Copies of this chain bind each other. A is one copy, B any other.
Amino acid sequence: MHFASDNSGPVHPEVLTALAEANQGYQMAYGADTLMNEVRDQVRGIFEAPGAAVYLVATGTAANSLALATLSQPWETVFCSPVAHIHEDECNAPEFYSGAKLTLVPGGDKMSPEALRLSIEGEETRGVHGPQRGPVSITQVTERGSVYTLCELQALCRVAKDYDLPVHMDGARFTNALVALNCSPAEMTWKAGVDAVSFGGTKNGLMGVEAVVFFDESKAWEFELRRKRGAHLFSKHRFLSAQMAAYLKDDLWLRSARQANANCAQLANGLRAAGATFLHEPQANMIFASFPRSLHRKLHDAGAVYHLWGDTLEGTDEDEMLACRFVCDWSNPPEQIEQFLSLL
């Protein structure tokens, strides 16, 4: 009953198998492995973007920071949600890589087009004195488990385009959103107006691989240099390629995300039936819920692992509502979900 995070579970067995298969003979290092050619084609294929530039790195923070650095200038500001991972959870890495600052678009978890427009309008009103307008970064799935609809994505991108600003998508949970929306990768990215995407794999069954995809190839060489300068170019790169190749083969990425979302829905239904309220309606593989301390205690004592969200189990008021977060991935054993539900 481990629901702490989608990066605490194991790697999918098909990925391990692929690593072992890739471990034959010699391969040129630093991305010149033959597998990377396959990966490039696979990624271009699923995105219906034959001219896309495709790169692999090992962490989501690297993907986001390098992508944003490539899209921005050090005197610009990046527009994002106040709870964006790039703002709250990357220890200044985006700023380190880009030199840019972040402007937090007021509102909740999801940015609204109106709030984004106001934030953009608020910059470049002071000539060289304030930061200049830079990229818009959209987190899909959001940090609170919500999913932007295609309409919402298109509306945000339209605002960005009104100001000629590039759009980045932090897709650490890209596929969880994709299967929730039941749309194509192209629809969720370049067809909506996204220019570059951090296409996550680590939270969805890989060991540690994220692709960065630029739909405009002109940024490719700069990205390669930034990746090397950031110490994110792997010598034994074939093992990144192998993971991504396995991910995209036989729909593993889709199967994993569907399973994660299904697990999440099952949990959410159980919690709802038990009277829990949701801080955000669960739409992918994360639940932010609130229920009494007594129930938390019961779950905790039975061995369920998840994060309380700003609250603490300590306290004597058994009826007090405590907020918490559950995250599912492909690997949650069905019997443990059953066990969890039986406790509710």
Binding site for B on A (CB under 8 A): 2, 4-5, 7-11, 13, 16, 19-20, 23-30, 57-62, 65-66, 73-75, 77, 88-93, 95-97, 99-102, 104, 126-132, 202-203, 207-208, 222, 224-236, 239, 305
Asked if B16 and A4 sit within 8 Å, CB to CB, the answer is: no
A227 neighbours in B (Cβ, 8 Å): 128
The prevalent SS among residues of A at the interface is loop
For the complex, give the distance between the alpha carbons of A25 and B331 in Å.
9
Known contacts A4-B26, A23-B16, A130-B88, A62 near B235 by CB under 8 Å:
no
In the complex, the 3 A-B pairs of residues with the closest C-beta atoms, listed nearest first: A7-B235, A62-B231, A61-B231
Instruction: Return the chain B residue nearest A3 by Cβ.
Output: B26
Asked if A74 and B92 sit within 8 Å, CB to CB, the answer is: yes
A13 neighbours in B (Cβ, 8 Å): 23
For the complex, give the distance between the alpha carbons of A24 and B333 in Å.
12
Asked if B23 and A10 sit within 8 Å, CB to CB, the answer is: yes
Asked if A128 and B231 sit within 8 Å, CB to CB, the answer is: no
Query: What's the least CB distance linking A89 to chain B, in Å?
Result: 4
Asked if B129 and A228 sit within 8 Å, CB to CB, the answer is: yes
Query: What's the least CB distance linking A305 to chain B, in Å?
Result: 7
Asked if A226 and B75 sit within 8 Å, CB to CB, the answer is: yes
Asked if B59 and A93 sit within 8 Å, CB to CB, the answer is: no
Asked if A93 and B58 sit within 8 Å, CB to CB, the answer is: no
Asked if A89 and B129 sit within 8 Å, CB to CB, the answer is: yes
A233 neighbours in B (Cβ, 8 Å): 59, 61, 128
A sample of 16 inter-chain contacts (CB < 8 A) reads: A2-B25, A5-B29, A8-B27, A10-B24, A30-B127, A30-B129, A58-B234, A59-B231, A61-B233, A91-B132, A92-B100, A93-B231, A96-B229, A128-B228, A208-B234, A208-B236
- Determine which of B91, B101, B224 lies in contact with A228 in the assembled complex, contact meaning CB atoms within 8 Å: B91
A59 neighbours in B (Cβ, 8 Å): 231-235
Known contacts A100-B92, A230-B231, A231-B93, A7 near B128 by CB under 8 Å:
no
Known contacts A225-B132, A230-B96, A231-B90, A208 near B10 by CB under 8 Å:
no
Asked if A93 and B230 sit within 8 Å, CB to CB, the answer is: yes
For the complex, give the distance between the alpha carbons of A229 and B203 in Å.
20
Instruction: Return the chain B residue nearest A7 by Cβ.
Output: B235
For the complex, give the distance between the alpha carbons of A90 and B62 in Å.
17
For the complex, give the distance between the alpha carbons of A239 and B202 in Å.
12
- Determine which of B5, B93, B222, B236 lies in contact with A229 in the assembled complex, contact meaning CB atoms within 8 Å: B93
For the complex, give the distance between the alpha carbons of A303 and B2 in Å.
52
